[in-house]
Amino acid sequence: MKVGLVGWRGMVGSVLMQRMVEENDFAHIEPFYFSTSNAGGEAPSFGGKTAPALMEATDITSLKQ
């Protein structure tokens, strides 16, 4: 299942990422990370899952996929 994650670097997002690692949620998803300031940059690796490059958070077409 594809899951787009926006806001993963903030205070609330970082808590969510930690909780997802603890619950092994990343084993069940294909994560895609979005950023408004670093699109094209290296995506983080949570739960041992490597994701494609950061995607542009203002690109509605990408967010809809």
CATH (domain of 51): 3.40.50.720
Domain of 52, in residue numbers: 2-64
Token readout for 19 is 């909780």
Total number of domains in the chain: 1
Residue 20 region by backbone torsions, left for phi larger than 0, else alpha for psi between -120 and 50, else beta: alpha
pLDDT tens string 14-37: 999 999 999 999 999 999 999 999
Mean pLDDT to the nearest integer, 50-56: 95
What integer pLDDT is reported at residue 65 of this predicted model? 86
Distance (Å, whole) CA 6 – CA 51: 14
Residues above pLDDT 70, as percent of the chain = 100
Reported for 42-45, long-range contacts at CB under 8 A and 24+ positions apart, including other chains, are: 44/8, 44/17
Q: What is the mean pLDDT of the chain?
A: 94
What integer pLDDT is reported at residue 61 of this predicted model? 93
Distance (Å, whole) CA 61 – CA 42: 20
